Chains A and B, each alone.
Chain A
Amino acid sequence: MKHAKTDIESFASRTGTVTAPRLRADSLCVGYAGTKIVHDVDLEANPGEVTILVGPNGCGKSTLLKAMARVLKPMSGAALLDGQSVHAMPTRDLARQLALLPQGPVAPEGLTVHELVSQGRFPHQSLTRQWSADDSRAVTGAMQAADIIDFSDRRVDSLSGGQRQRCWIAMVLAQETDVILLDEPTTFLDLKVQVDVMTLLRKIARQKGRTLLVVLHELNIAAMFADRIVIMRDGRLIAQGAPERVITTENLAAGFGLQASVIKDPVTGRPVCLPDITEPAS
């Protein structure tokens, strides 16, 4: 278990360095058509760590992530990458530093795995700079990391849900950015596949000190894999910090309206949430 233990320790605690957050939301307000959905959010995501955003359906976590990825413009406040507003940067320059995997992406019919992953090289190419050896190396490396090299020539639409999700993660990896945002990367996957995907994401964060910000549905999966967890409700932050500190009976009640007890996983020491299914005594 020694090996597992070091893997779980965060990048910062392993290296003993105090690193500045790479990605930050500063009093961020976001909404659609005049309706504010995210209210005044301050958020941090650090290098080498997986930061996971959780909250009930419709709490604004996806909206927040989209604003951090410059898909949505903020109504006020800012989404900052290394202190610079992501909305002020040229979109292609930003795409070389920050990658986004949206929720439930659909590959065009007939696209092969290799073609999909190659799309990740888009921001590195231009009219004068076409496909290069660097691109090939990045694509092969990404496919190896996501363990999909064997399907290289298969069509994406012929793969299972878990394999497909690994292809999309490989595309994002091929983009070779330090910061990666993922919107519900495990939705509709079996528990085993969810664990595989999250293990892969944690490995990605640990290697090269990448900053991962992930929106997740599954609370216990989040508690198991997050270095830093953020609970949202009705567009506001309820709590953020280490899972041991954030996953508490009080925060679960405040964030999800969920009556639950929290126990410690005897192996990893991680908090595990056990919902109360008995009627409360009157």
Chain B
Amino acid sequence: MTKAGWFSLPVLLGGLVLAFGWHIAVGAKTVPLHVVLEALVAYDQSNFDHVVVTDLRLPRAVYAVLVGAALAVAGALMQGVTRNPLAEPGVLGLLTGASFVVVMAVGYFRLVDPAFIPLLAALGATVTAALVWGIAAAAPGGSTPLTLVLAGAAITGFLAAFISLAHLLDQESFDRLRVWLTGTLAGRSTDVLIWALPWLIGGLVLALLLAPQVTALAMGDETAVGLGVDVVRVKLLAMLSVIALTAAAVAIAGPMAFVGLVIPHVARILVGADYRAIVPVSAVLGAVYLLVVDIAARMVLAPIEVSTGIVTALLGAPFFVWLVRARL
């Protein structure tokens, strides 16, 4: 990594702290930043602002940080391992696959126990990944960036149709999932967070451990073999990490589109092509990004709140188009 690259990490961490404080400060009633700090370090139960900060706003800020970091790192790993600039959990259908299984299990089988949610999401992501890669590999020319994206789009459309159908057939049970399905950080219970956390931490640690191998892999499979990388093992472990991170993010916030696509590219502009730098920088950058997006989601049409996932999609889609034009 370049000297400028190492310099950017403390700057980013500073930005993260600022965004975190700002995120907690804004809302229906603005809480001054120093009160936010007070509430975090010297909590006073009788102070109404303190209760708002710790009970309502702090969890949401924490979700934003975790989901943003998870999706950004998952995207970085996928882009590195597949050498595909368009790879990310959303574009390749993993988010929809994970949501589909969660929706069906919760809607039809009443599997509402939060312990099951990440597991179900992981199951959905795994099956979708296998399907998307299978379809892309069977296409003429094999699994190229383009065939993977097309297979991801097809699977996403197919599963989204099933979700709509289920919703139409049973309005009542699926209505509660409607907002979650757009990607939201509002009103999630901390139970889900507790069960998603092991997946998230496991996925992040694995990603950080794999980062040096991913850099070697990004130079081509043969080069990586020559350098002593066990290519099959690294690809499997990277997939495992991606699935754990996707499952945790979907369990907490639903399908949050395009975060995993945008952030790694910005990280690359900042720190270059080495995944030892891209992975941690993506994590911090993803957290900051989702905090800021969530602030916008609450402020732009206030007092109406827009789903965070709708805002990430609004911002991510033009970026996706630009990427296709610039890089494919």
List A residues at the B interface (Cβ < 8 Å): 66, 69-71, 91-96, 99-102, 105-112, 115-116, 119-120, 122-123, 125, 127, 153, 172, 175, 181
Contacts and interface: CB of A to CB of B under 8 A. Distances in A.
12 contacts: A69-B225, A69-B226, A71-B221, A93-B228, A101-B223, A102-B223, A106-B220, A108-B215, A111-B274, A119-B216, A122-B227, A123-B228
B219 A100 contact: no
Nearest to A123: B228
B266 to A, nearest CB: 12
A109 B223 contact: no
B222 interface: yes
Contacts of A93: 228
Nearest to B226: A100
Interface string B198-242: 000000000001001001101111110111111000000000000
B273 A122 contact: no
A93 B229 CA distance: 10
Interface string B80-115: 000100000000000000000000000000000000
Interface residues of B, number: 23
B222 A102 contact: yes
Interface string B1-37: 1100000000000000000000000000000000000
Contacts of A108: 83, 215, 218-219, 273
B298 interface: no
- What 5 A-B pairs are tightest by C-beta distance, nearest first? A95-B228, A100-B226, A102-B222, A92-B228, A123-B228
A95 B219 contact: no
A184 to B, nearest CB: 12
B268 interface: yes
B226 A115 contact: no
A249 B222 CA distance: 36
Given A106-B219, A110-B268, A99 B273 contact: no
Contact of B272 (A99, A115, A119): A115
Contacts of A105: 219-220, 222-223
Contact of A95 (B209, B226, B272, B273): B226
Given A69-B225, A108-B215, A123-B228, 6 more contacts: A69-B226, A92-B228, A92-B230, A95-B226, A100-B226, A112-B2
Contacts of A94: 228
A71 B225 contact: yes
Nearest to A183: B222
Contacts of B2: 112, 153
Contacts of B218: 108
Contacts of A102: 220, 222-223, 226
Contacts of A66: 222
A100 B223 contact: yes
Interface centre among B1, B215, B222, B229 (most CB of A within 10 A): B222
A107 B219 contact: yes
B219 A119 contact: yes
B229 A91 contact: yes
Contact of A122 (B83, B221, B222, B228): B228
Given A109-B273, A111-B273, A91 B216 contact: no
Interface string B240-261: 0000000000000000000000
A91 B221 CA distance: 13
A125 B229 CA distance: 12
A106 B274 CA distance: 14
A99 B219 contact: no
A70 B209 contact: no
Most A CB atoms within 10 A — which of B212, B223, B272?
B223
Given A110-B273, A115-B274, A96 B228 contact: yes
A183 B216 CA distance: 18
Contacts of A69: 222, 225-226
B274 A71 contact: no
A175 B227 contact: yes
A22 B229 CA distance: 23
Given A105-B219, A106-B219, A107-B219, A119 B227 contact: yes
Given A108-B218, A119-B215, A99 B274 contact: no
Given A110-B272, A111-B274, A119-B215, A91 B222 contact: no
Given A95-B228, A123-B228, A127-B209, A115 B222 contact: no
A131 B88 CA distance: 30
A111 B272 contact: yes
B200 to A, nearest CB: 22
Contacts of B228: 91-96, 122-123
B206 to A, nearest CB: 13
A255 B228 CA distance: 34
A111 B225 CA distance: 19
Residue from B1, B222, B226, B273 having most chain A Cβ neighbours under 10 A: B226
A194 to B, nearest CB: 21
Contacts of B1: 115
